């Protein structure tokens, strides 16, 4: 969603590979190796944590039958996730809900 793909592409090769591996695990119905729920963004939203080459996060939702939506990806600079990153993910989550309702 949004600029998430471009953001992931801006990460180092090592981080991009880890993001790909973690998202593939989610596609296979498994949990990422390091993650936490992000209910502040929306129900079912999770955060993949990547610790290589700095701290990186990928927020996604996988509760829909045919899609995993990457809502936001960013490099973490502080211990707390910024309000801007949470707000961006919330807006994209609302868009996902509209897409899924339209599909039905």
Cβ neighbors of 83 (< 8 A, separation 6 or more) are none
Residue where the block lists tokens 């996730």? 81
In what order do the strands lie in the sheet containing 45-50? Answer: 35-37, 45-50, 55-61, 69-76
pTM, entire model: 0.91
Cα–Cα dist 30/88, whole Å: 26
What string of pLDDT tens digits covers the 104 residues of the chain? 999 999 999 999 999 999 999 999 999 999 999 999 999 999 999 999 999 788 999 999 998 878 899 999 999 988 899 999 999 999 999 999 998 887 76
Q: Using only C-alpha atoms, what is the Rg of the chain?
A: 13
CB atoms within 10 A of CB 98: 10
Helices (H) and strands (E) in the chain, counts: 3, 4
């Amino acid at each position: 969603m949004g600029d998430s793909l471009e953001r992931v592409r801006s990460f180092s090769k090592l981080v991009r590979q880890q993001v790909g591996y973690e998202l593939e695990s989610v596609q296979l119905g498994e949990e990422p190796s390091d993650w936490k729920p992000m209910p502040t963004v929306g129900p079912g939203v999770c955060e993949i944590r990547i610790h290589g080459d700095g701290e990186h996060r990928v927020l996604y939702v996988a509760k829909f039958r045919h899609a995993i939506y990457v809502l936001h990806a960013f490099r973490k600079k502080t211990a707390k996730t910024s309000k801007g990153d949470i707000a961006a993910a919330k807006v994209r989550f609302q868009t996902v809900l509209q897409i899924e309702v339209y599909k039905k």
